[in-house]
A and B are shown apart, each in its own frame.
Chain A
Amino acid sequence: MSQKTLEKLINKDGIRTDGRKLDELRPAKIEVGILSNADGSAYIEQGKNKILAAVYGPRDVHPRHLALPDRALLRCRYHMAPFSVEERKSPAPSRREMELSKVIREALDPSVFLEYYPRTSIDVFTEVLQADGGTRCASITAASLALADAGIPMRDLVVACAAGKVEGHLVLDLNDAEDKVGEADVPLAFMPNLNAVTLLQMDGMLTTDEFEKVVNLALNGCKQMYALQKETLKVKYVTVKEEETEE
């Protein structure tokens, strides 16, 4: 586990260990509507990340006293499978997972017309099957698609991407090794049509100038992922429509 990474993560031509340029995203693949029990679902692969998201609801709230009189209750669970990381992770929710569940909920919350469904709950579950850095962002990207797949009215899709600083370079979409060794990591979630940042975190050290550049880098990544999100929905629903016309 704790091999000291002696080799550099970014070579003199600005190429990273996985062959990417500094401002390049990892290859990503998204599918929607892949779980039959869920009202909506999505699966994302981004680099070595493999994440499932499912949405149940709007449905009755359990326990009942949690129901809100004027809007739906949005609940989120971010969870990592024990086998998703190098050293087995206990399946009990860690403090990190509890914090991420909270910030992911708060990232999705402004996108959903919750006021349409008072006294119900909308439950979002994300399971990280394999982790390779940037799982909270990939989870948000997938969870937002799962909400759309569930047919829940939304103001915009939420898309997320991280950028940061590694070995003095500002880079987009850090993988696990880069995140561990790097100087800073800034995950950001965004609703492009509304110019709204719904999640922003940072750890590491950046000057305010660097921070501004990193935010712009992350926004660029978000825009690319947003195109992929929309394409995924189109592919899925154009196919469904064709099937129906055949009948």
Chain B
Amino acid sequence: MTGSTVAPRLKQKQIAQLISLGKRLDGRGLTDYREIHVETGIIERAEGSARVLLGKTEVMVGIKIEVGEPFSDVPNEGVLTVNAELVPLASPTFEAGPPDENSIELARVVDRGIRESKAIDMGKLCLVPGKKVFVVFVDVYVLNHDGNLIDASAMASLAALLNTKLFNYELENGEVKIKPGYTQLPMRNRPIAVTFAKIKDKLIADPSLEEEQVMDARLTITMEKDGKICAIQKGESGYFTIEQILEAAKTAQEKTGELRKVVVKG
């Protein structure tokens, strides 16, 4: 996502200098997040939905639920599918077309957080073992890109899942018949992602687009509700030292707690 242009590189010096003084361009502290707004239930056609504003970054997530077939190795569990679209209206650098590696990485990092923390009680999504289960589609829609899409998408996905209603059904000779009324999607955990950018040997949380354009490397740590790590992803072409990674894990512990409160209260 780092467009190789000249302007950000000129800014890098300034950004790095500020960071070495513990400051940032927009006045935040090094581990401060931008303001977060969470709205849920905004798309009536979707079984669940949420919109998250993280500063000027805006992400919408819609949840659709369908009846489908389970995977053969887990015949008694529902199926989770996460997809992300970097829609062209969100940034001059996004182009229409099949998902590129950036949107695939975004979707897979969000997916890993939900899946590995066992956020959805998949066992309860089985209708006919081995034949019919609920398939949960999480579609991440990036509407405005101002940095840190991963955290915004993970928050929006969690908020949307917590907002998801499962239609009632009955089984008639192994066929699924939809009945009126809804129940809540069974949720067991609340994963939250915290992303750090490394700029000239300093780590900052929640990088803005300007900061992302000059960062050396990125590290996302996703934690579940009890503070265990459930997913990690390093990105971009730079590197981290072991000490920086362990420091990030410690900061993530604090930050995920704070963010979770904002998202879950919705």
Contacts and interface: CB of A to CB of B under 8 A. Distances in A.
B108 A194 contact: no
A247 B241 CA distance: 47
A219 interface: yes
A103 B253 CA distance: 25
Interface stretch (B31-39, B44-52, B180-188, B226-234): B226-234
A203 B229 CA distance: 9
Given A99-B105, A99-B108, A215 B245 contact: yes
Contacts of B228: 205-208
A99 B101 CA distance: 6
Contacts of B73: 1-2
A205 B245 contact: no
B234 A197 contact: yes
A212 B4 contact: no
Nearest to A204: B116
B232 A200 contact: yes
A93 B73 CA distance: 22
Contact of B249 (A68, A103, A208, A219): A208
Interface residues of B, number: 36
Contacts of B232: 186, 200-202
B241 A196 contact: yes
A195 interface: yes
Interface in B214-256: 219, 224, 227-242, 245-246, 249-250, 253
B245 A197 contact: yes
A195 B235 contact: no
A98 B245 CA distance: 25
A105 B99 CA distance: 18
B235 A98 contact: no
Contacts of B42: none
A68 B9 CA distance: 15
Interface in A205-242: 205-208, 211-212, 215, 219
A191 B237 CA distance: 13
Contacts of B230: 202-205
A204 B112 CA distance: 8
Nearest to B244: A197
B229 A196 contact: no
A211 B105 contact: no
A129 B242 CA distance: 32
B253 A208 contact: yes
Interface residues of A, number: 35
A102 B109 CA distance: 13
A159 B104 CA distance: 25
A200 B228 CA distance: 17
A237 B23 CA distance: 50
B117 interface: yes
A243 to B, nearest CB: 37
B101 A194 contact: no
Interface in B97-134: 99, 101, 104-105, 107-108, 112, 115-117
Given A102-B101, A186-B232, A196-B239, A211 B112 contact: no
B72 interface: yes
A198 B218 CA distance: 10
B110 to A, nearest CB: 12
Contacts of A207: 227-229
Nearest to B4: A68
A219 B243 CA distance: 13
A95 B83 CA distance: 10
A203 B245 contact: no
Contact of B72 (A2, A194, A195, A201): A2
30 contacts: A2-B73, A95-B99, A95-B108, A98-B101, A98-B104, A99-B108, A102-B101, A102-B104, A103-B105, A106-B237, A186-B232, A195-B241, A196-B239, A197-B234, A197-B240, A197-B241, A197-B245, A198-B234, A200-B234, A202-B230, A203-B112, A203-B116, A203-B231, A205-B117, A206-B228, A206-B229, A207-B227, A208-B249, A208-B253, A211-B249
Interface of A: 1-2, 68, 95-96, 98-99, 101-103, 105-106, 109-110, 186, 191, 194-208, 211-212, 215, 219
Interchain residue pairs A-B with the least CB separation, the first 6: A196-B239, A202-B232, A109-B237, A2-B73, A200-B234, A102-B101
